[in-house]
Chains A and B, each alone.
Chain A
Amino acid sequence: MFQAASAKLAQTLLVLLIVSAASFAFLKLAPGDPVGIMLGSDYSKTSYDQLTHELGLDRPVVQQYGNWLADFVRGDWGTSYITNQDIFELAVMQALPVTLTLAALSLLIALVIGIPTGVMAALYRNSWADVLATTLAIGGNAFPSFYLGILLIWLFGVDLGWFPVLGFVAPWEDFWLGMWHLVLPAVTLGAWYVGLIARITRSSLLEVLGQPYILAARARGEPGWRVVWVHGMRNVLMPLVTVIGLQLGGMLRGAVMTEVVFALPGLGMMVTTAVLNREYIVVQAGIMLTGLLFVAVNLAVDQTYQFLDPRLRRR
């Protein structure tokens, strides 16, 4: 147990190290000379050399990387050239909670719609529920989320006026107003997931319902709903969690689009603005944070397995 956990942790740290090296290299390889930009158009060779030395840019690259990593771990992520804002503050305290809220709400919507649709599709094969599940699955994957977002804004925001079109209100400040602002973005982002969840639920449940232990549960007089939702779905959770975990990268990618379309001040919006402003140091923070998030989710999924599948628990 301890051995497996420590091996997992070492693996995770290695991944994070590679991500950090890549994002450091990205800053190094990006066109433009930070010293030149900071000094303006007119400067002497001495002042150039002096600033280069002060910034530590004359030291070996490996040492520069080490210093940068140490600063990063300490939470010293630098300051934005444009807004003069502390980047750690901007990324972790402001942008991250927005993206996490959006992702969580989208996942919730996708689960609430996707699981019952998948169960119905499995129980009544070739019925309307099955057709709906397949349509959602194909449609959700084929429909670009930025386009769906614009359609939703046009229909529910502009035409019907039911939901706000743009902007973000923090749900932790005003819960209902915040949720009201998040409905359209969460539906846009969740739509991609609904079909996926419905499809996985359908195929996993069909496989599980064919198992002898399902017949055995019926043979001891368990009613049909309990056989499906308790004996069956308990075994569907494992493949479902696997797929959700694996596809979380896709959700982060979708969040970028959704945040831009709905002008939500999340990580995606932060990185997009930074790219347009050529503010590479903020982009770098975005890459690191996304990498951390991804690794954290994977670790969480791994831990969930042991909780979900008794066969993986070690005593």
Chain B
Amino acid sequence: MDCAVALTTQAANMPVSEEPLLDVRDFSLRRGQAVVLDGVSLALQPGETLGLIGESGAGKSTLALALIGLLRAPEVQLEGSLRFRGTELTRLKEADYRRLRGNKIGLIFQDATAALNPCFTVGQQIAEPLKRHLGLSKWDRRERAAELMHSVGIPEPRLRLDAYPHELSGGMQQRVMIAIALACNPELLLADEPTSALDVTIQAQIMELILDRVRELNSSAIFVLHDLALGAQVCDRIAVMYAGQIVEEGPSERVLAAPLHPYTRGLKSCVVELGSRTLVPIPGQVPPLDAMPAGCRFAPRCPKAKAICGEQRPRAEIRDGRQVACWFID
């Protein structure tokens, strides 16, 4: 008994970087027969930011929803392991998971206009996690909500507390969304395309705001993005997803500068770059979930595909400080 206590104390005193904040191992998610996420593995250290990059339908948002526990059995079937601060999330009871949501794990939605309840004031919606997780009194909630609104750059927060979402602009609504997600100082922030529903002029502002807040709170963050260059710019690490699998994962600069996987290369070359005259689209489309190739899921669209690619799934290999899943890395 004493020994167990000693062990826990020791674990608590250990430097935090020893165990990753989030450890996803061989995680699969099935919806009936369709394998939506297939053997996803990634690790996130405290304070680290990761960009999940890929086309729509790659499973990025699904992974984010699964991490916050909004996609669970019996709706979908989960396999493998999701460990958060040493807790196995896939086997967590719903009541315990609820204590993490909005508290230790925050989620920013793509479209704030749709993700804010039209019938409640923004103050009420920001105050909800403060009541649920921190148990603040009504007065304290109002004070803290105003502070949070101030911290995400909403002018005159006290006046705006009683505003309904439709009375705010899209950018302001997304700021409210960020305030809600960060209300309880989460250790992990998930941001699902946080700027793609906004005007180009305020996209950079919002991205900057999220990064500032995350750094200030020393939280880890996963950004779901479809833009490789943006991801590399704002995140420490990049994980490129294709059809429910991670094909390449590693430090941002290296993945962007010298992509190893043919899909990452394709993603890079289909972005218009200043001074470049070439724009090469990736031929074909993501295969439908019920007709996934048995081997590498990218094989049908891959310029380098050989016979083995269609038959056997490549295992992730560590190369140049990153993991790549391809039969022909060189």
Chain A residues at the B interface, C-beta cutoff of 8 Å: 211-213, 215-223, 231, 234-235, 308-311, 315
In order of increasing CB-CB distance, the 7 nearest A-B pairs are A220-B102, A221-B102, A221-B101, A310-B164, A212-B114, A216-B115, A213-B117
What 0/1 pattern do residues 181 to 193 of B give for CB contact below 8 A with A?
1010000000000
Closest to A223 in B: B98
Query: A216–B114 Cα gap in the complex (Å)?
Result: 9
Contact between chains at A219 and B166 (CB < 8 Å) = no
Query: A215–B102 Cα gap in the complex (Å)?
Result: 12
Closest to A214 in B: B117
What 0/1 pattern do residues 262 to 299 of B give for CB contact below 8 A with A?
00000000000000000000000000000000000000
Q: Tell me, rounded to whole Å, the shortest Cβ–Cβ distance linking A279 to chain B.
A: 50
B116 proximity list for chain A (CB < 8 A): 213, 216
Query: A261–B161 Cα gap in the complex (Å)?
Result: 55
B98 proximity list for chain A (CB < 8 A): 221, 223
User: Given contacts A219-B102, A219-B107, A221-B102, is CB(A311)–CB(B132) below 8 Å?
Assistant: no
A222 proximity list for chain B (CB < 8 A): 102, 128, 132
Query: A221–B94 Cα gap in the complex (Å)?
Result: 10
Query: A308–B109 Cα gap in the complex (Å)?
Result: 26
Segment 69-114 of B: residues with Cβ below 8 Å from A: 70, 98-103, 106-107, 109, 111, 114
Contact between chains at A218 and B117 (CB < 8 Å) = no
User: Given contacts A216-B109, A219-B68, is CB(A235)–CB(B180) below 8 Å?
Assistant: no
Closest to B103 in A: A221
Query: A310–B168 Cα gap in the complex (Å)?
Result: 13
Contact between chains at A311 and B118 (CB < 8 Å) = yes
Contact between chains at A235 and B102 (CB < 8 Å) = no
Contact between chains at B101 and A220 (CB < 8 Å) = yes
Query: A218–B94 Cα gap in the complex (Å)?
Result: 11
B133 proximity list for chain A (CB < 8 A): 221
Query: A311–B183 Cα gap in the complex (Å)?
Result: 26
Query: A163–B101 Cα gap in the complex (Å)?
Result: 53
Contact of A219 among B70, B117, B167 (CB under 8 A): B70
A215 proximity list for chain B (CB < 8 A): 65, 70, 109, 115
Contact of A221 among B109, B118, B119, B132 (CB under 8 A): B132
Contact of B99 among A211, A217, A221 (CB under 8 A): A221
A211 proximity list for chain B (CB < 8 A): 114
Q: Tell me, rounded to whole Å, the shortest Cβ–Cβ distance linking B42 to chain A.
A: 21
User: Would you call B120 an interface residue if the criterion is a C-beta within 8 Å of the partner chain's C-beta atoms?
Assistant: yes
Please, could you name 12 A-B residue pairs with CB atoms under 8 Å apart, sorted by A?
A213-B114, A213-B115, A217-B117, A218-B70, A219-B102, A220-B129, A220-B181, A221-B100, A221-B101, A309-B118, A309-B119, A310-B118
Q: Given contact pairs A216-B109, A216-B177, enumerate 7 new A-B contacts (beta carbons under 8 Å).
A: A212-B111, A213-B118, A216-B117, A220-B183, A221-B103, A309-B119, A311-B166
Closest to B116 in A: A213
Q: Tell me, rounded to whole Å, the shortest Cβ–Cβ distance linking B189 to chain A.
A: 12
Query: A217–B98 Cα gap in the complex (Å)?
Result: 11
A216 proximity list for chain B (CB < 8 A): 107, 109, 115-117, 177, 180
Contact between chains at B129 and A234 (CB < 8 Å) = no
What 0/1 pattern do residues 1 to 42 of B give for CB contact below 8 A with A?
000000000000000000000000000000000000000000
Query: A35–B102 Cα gap in the complex (Å)?
Result: 80
Closest to B130 in A: A220
Closest to B64 in A: A219
Query: A211–B99 Cα gap in the complex (Å)?
Result: 22
Closest to B95 in A: A223
Contact between chains at A235 and B117 (CB < 8 Å) = yes
Q: Tell me, rounded to whole Å, the shortest Cβ–Cβ distance linking B61 to chain A.
A: 11
Query: A235–B103 Cα gap in the complex (Å)?
Result: 26
Contact between chains at A220 and B132 (CB < 8 Å) = yes
Query: A220–B126 Cα gap in the complex (Å)?
Result: 9
Q: Tell me, rounded to whole Å, the shortest Cβ–Cβ distance linking B222 to chain A.
A: 14
Query: A221–B128 Cα gap in the complex (Å)?
Result: 9
Query: A216–B192 Cα gap in the complex (Å)?
Result: 12
Q: Tell me, rounded to whole Å, the shortest Cβ–Cβ distance linking B89 to chain A.
A: 14
Query: A59–B144 Cα gap in the complex (Å)?
Result: 75
Query: A211–B114 Cα gap in the complex (Å)?
Result: 7
Q: Tell me, rounded to whole Å, the shortest Cβ–Cβ distance linking A184 to chain B.
A: 38
Closest to A213 in B: B117
A235 proximity list for chain B (CB < 8 A): 117-119
Query: A213–B118 Cα gap in the complex (Å)?
Result: 8
Query: A219–B115 Cα gap in the complex (Å)?
Result: 10
What 0/1 pattern do residues 171 to 183 of B give for CB contact below 8 A with A?
0000001001101
B65 proximity list for chain A (CB < 8 A): 215
